[in-house]
Amino acid sequence: MENEKNIIQDLIRRAMKAREYSYSPYSNFSVGAAILSESGKIYTGCNIESASYTPTICAERVALFKAVSEGERKFKMLALVGGPKNGEKKTEEIVSPCGVCRQMLYEFGKDLKVVMADNEEKYEVRMLEELLPYGFGPDNLI
């Protein structure tokens, strides 16, 4: 039986690998994400930027959209890793999902575990509902 720590660390490793593919020539801030579906599959993503800036998409949404486009609808856990490519961080804080990604993840369930990691040993786990309290989601619409 895989324990939760192994699952978390595996997801972090996959997010770290995905981060290597980050296309972020404008911000030089690279992010990788990995999302575990209820079916047990893992989908990864990295941030992808645009010269016109606004079409830029975060790693979390790339991972989520890959999964949803493969038919997945329910998710257990998402891990993300990120920071400046040169490693010089302004704060010691671990990267956390932006508001747009929190909203998009909320669409598929507030019970998602979000693992915000620097590496396999240094991470924090929060429920999506903690990151987006009083969120607006599918239940609010008829």
Distance between alpha carbon 97 and the CA centroid of its chain, in Å? 6
Residues belonging to the active site: 60
Terminal-to-terminal C-alpha distance of the chain: 40
Residues 18 and 42: beta-carbon distance below 8 Å: no
Query: What dihedral do alpha carbons 14, 15, 16, 18 form, nearest 10°?
Result: 90
Nearer to ligand THU, 77 or 97 (CB): 97
Tell me the pairing of strands 75-84 and 42-46.
Answer: unpaired
Residue 98 Cβ vs ligand THU, minimum distance, rounded to whole Å = 4
Residue 18 Cβ vs ligand THU, minimum distance, rounded to whole Å = 10
Residue 112 Cβ vs ligand THU, minimum distance, rounded to whole Å = 14
Nearer to ligand THU, 64 or 82 (CB): 82
Name residues contacting ligand THU, limited to 5-64 (CB under 6 A).
24, 27, 29, 31, 47, 49, 56, 58-60
**Rounded CA separation 26/76 (Å):** 32
* Contact track, ligand THU, 71-110, x by CB under 6 A: -----------x------------x-xx--x---------
**Rounded CA separation 142/139 (Å):** 7
Interacting residues with ligand THU (CB under 6 A): 24, 27, 29, 31, 47, 49, 56, 58-60, 82, 95, 97-98, 101
